Amino acid sequence: MSTIFTLFMVLIMIASMLLIIMVMAQNPKGGGLSGTFGGTSSAQFGVQRTNDFMEKATWTLGAIIVVLILLSVILTAKPTTSFQQTPAKREAPAPQTAPGTNSSATMPVPAPAGK
């Protein structure tokens, strides 16, 4: 594996772990981490801002993961091999006769008779 691919994999794994932490810290009923810091009322001591931060951080981490995956595919893809423009030379195949056969291709040519 190349170094750039390993770097992208490490960054994707870090972002994924952070995304898991952010999702687990949220509670869809308004509790979770924001409920721990400010009570259950969303009007006390900036609890609504904590919910906004957690939601924005979740979306941002998701977008970062998608961008990193796309960049890793684009930058680490192997280029396709180019084909030859000129056709390759083809040689005629050798005759396929078995030894000891009396075909005209294997018969010795008689020497011309002298005068």
Instruction: State pLDDT tens for residues 42-68.
Output: 555 545 566 788 889 999 999 999 999
- Tell me the C-alpha distance between 97 and 7, whole Å: 61
Q: What is the mean pLDDT of the segment spanning 4-15?
A: 93
- Tell me the C-alpha distance between 10 and 12, whole Å: 5
What are all long-range contacts of 43-50, with beta carbons under 8 Å and residues at least 24 apart? none
Q: How confident is the model at residue 100 (pLDDT cuts 50, 70, 90)?
A: low
Higher-confidence residue of 35 and 94: namely 94
- Tell me the C-alpha distance between 86 and 31, whole Å: 70
What are all long-range contacts of 77-83, with beta carbons under 8 Å and residues at least 24 apart? none
Structure-token pair, residue 97: 């006769």
Question: Which of these, 42, 39, 60, lies nearest to 51 by C-alpha position?
Answer: 42
Lowest-pLDDT choice from 14-18, 61-65, 74-78: 74-78
pTM for this predicted structure: 0.52
Higher-confidence residue of 63 and 35: namely 63
